[in-house]
Amino acid sequence: MSHPDVIDLLVGIAPGSHLDRLRAQRVQARDNAQASYLALFHPAEPVDISLLERYAVAVFVAGLHRQPAVTAFYRAGLAAQPSLRLMLDAEIARGATAGPYGHYPAGPLSAEDKDGPTFTAITDVGPRLAAALGHSHMLVFHPRDASADALRKLEAAAWSATGIVTLSQLVAFLSFQIRVIIGLRALAEAS
């Protein structure tokens, strides 16, 4: 089964268009942005983090970025999970805020510390996914608050070291993919 290029799809880049020709000049970046998506959402073996967990985190992250088209794209991966989709919609609404905020190690940068909300899922998504959503909210909005203790919380919710690495890649990659889509959409609109 072949998968369309997600960035082209969500920006609306047609073959032969101005944006298509621009992307063709950075073909490795284009192909590997797509290869990254495939590695995360169509993995050889989804060990340590299930496909359902991957799509649930993606819906949550895209929703926190207030990107309806991206959210809808990943929500399609949860087609068989209507109740989870509703729970995620509720968590997205509860998690809405603006970033980046967070704290620095005590010292000269403490003057730049910015407080903001921390997030705890309240719907019945299960302890593993609840821990992942809490961690994802921090990575989306206040990544400089990340800590070794935050990883211990994931471990306490049965996340393995490899699963935590993939979860971090998932949220971090989506933070990239969403911004490329937003940026190229603006460039297309201004062309």
Binding site for another protein (CB under 8 A): 18, 22-23, 25-29, 31-33, 35-36, 38-40, 43-44, 64-66, 98-100, 102, 104-109, 112, 135, 138-141, 143-144, 146, 148, 150-151, 161-162, 164-166, 168-169, 171-173, 175-177, 179-180, 182-184, 186-187, 189-191
* Residue in 23, 1, 2 with CA at minimum distance from that of residue 12: 23
Q: 22, 29 in Cβ contact below 8 A?
A: no
Shortest distance, CB of residue 124 to another protein, whole angstroms?
26
Nearer to another protein, 90 or 161 (CB): 161
Shortest Cβ 93–another protein spacing (Å): 14
Q: Rank residues 80 and 111 by Cβ distance to another protein and give the closer one.
A: 111
Residues 6+ positions from 8 with CB-CB distance below 8 Å? 20, 23
- Give min distance, CB of 67 to another protein, in A: 8
Q: Of the two residues 59 and 184, which places its CB atom closer to another protein in the complex?
A: 184
CB 119 within 8 A of CB 137: yes
**Cβ at position 73, least distance to another protein in Å:** 17
The minimum distance between CB 146 and another protein, in angstroms, equals: 4
Nearer to another protein, 55 or 166 (CB): 166
Of the two residues 75 and 137, which places its CB atom closer to another protein in the complex? Answer: 137
Query: Tokens for 7?
Result: 């960035």
Q: Which residue, 81 or 150, is less far from another protein as judged by CB? A: 150
Q: Considering the complex, what minimum distance in angstroms separates the CB of residue 17 from another protein?
A: 12
> DSSP state, 143?
G
Q: How far apart are the first and last CA of the chain?
A: 34
CB 174 within 8 A of CB 58: yes
User: Which residue carries 């990883």 as its tokens?
Assistant: 151
Quickly tell me which residue has 């959210």 as its tokens: 71
Per the CB < 8 A criterion, the answer to whether 122 and 137 are in contact is: no
